[in-house]
Every structure is written in C-alpha cells, then in structure tokens.
C-alpha cells in the first residue's frame, strides 16, 4: 500500500483530500484522533493489557489523579 501511495497518484489524491476540507490541518488532526481512539479501544479489550494496567493501580494515587483531571 505504501509503495502504491508513493509511486502512483497517492500524494496528489492525499493533497486534494486535505485541500478539500476548509483547514486541511484540522482534517489530519481529526483523522489521527479517530485512529487514536480506535487504538485505545483495541488495547482496552486485550486481556494482557488489562492485566498490566490493572497492576498499576497498586502504585497510583487515585485521589491525586482525580484531582488533576478535574482541575
């Protein structure tokens, strides 16, 4: 896919897609936000990741974390 992008019409099409939106930078930012959310969803259902993050709660000060997020 990457080879096809670089050798063919990929760069032109990509530029046209970004230019199509008012503020192409926002289109890229939104795209990466969606990819990030999907990645986090996939990680959250992985049993190995859940086990590893679950053990972190032993070391975390949840009161400070809640306070930091709510500020």
pLDDT tens profile 10-68 = 666 666 666 655 567 777 788 888 888 888 888 888 999 888 887 777 888 888 888 88
Number of separate domains in the chain? 1
Q: Cα separation of 45 and 7, whole Å?
A: 37
Looking at residue 47, the DSSP 8-state letter turns out to be H
Alpha helices in 1-71 (DSSP H): 2-7, 10-20, 24-44, 47-56, 62-70
Assess if residue 42 is contained within a domain. yes
Assess if residue 50 is contained within a domain. yes
What is the domain range of residue 35? Answer: 25-71
Q: Cα separation of 33 and 27, whole Å?
A: 10
Predicted pLDDT of residue 15? 66
Predicted pLDDT of residue 20? 57
Assess if residue 69 is contained within a domain. yes
Assess if residue 14 is contained within a domain. no
Assess if residue 2 is contained within a domain. no
Q: Cα separation of 24 and 21, whole Å?
A: 5
For the chain, the first-to-last Cα distance in angstroms comes to 44
């Amino acid at each position: 896919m990457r080879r096809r992008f670089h050798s063919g019409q990929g760069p032109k099409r990509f530029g046209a897609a970004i230019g199509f939106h008012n503020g192409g930078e926002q289109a890229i930012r939104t795209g990466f936000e969606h990819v990030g959310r999907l990645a986090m969803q996939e990680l959250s259902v992985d049993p190995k990741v859940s086990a590893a993050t679950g053990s972190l709660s032993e070391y975390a000060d949840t009161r400070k974390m809640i306070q930091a997020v709510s500020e």
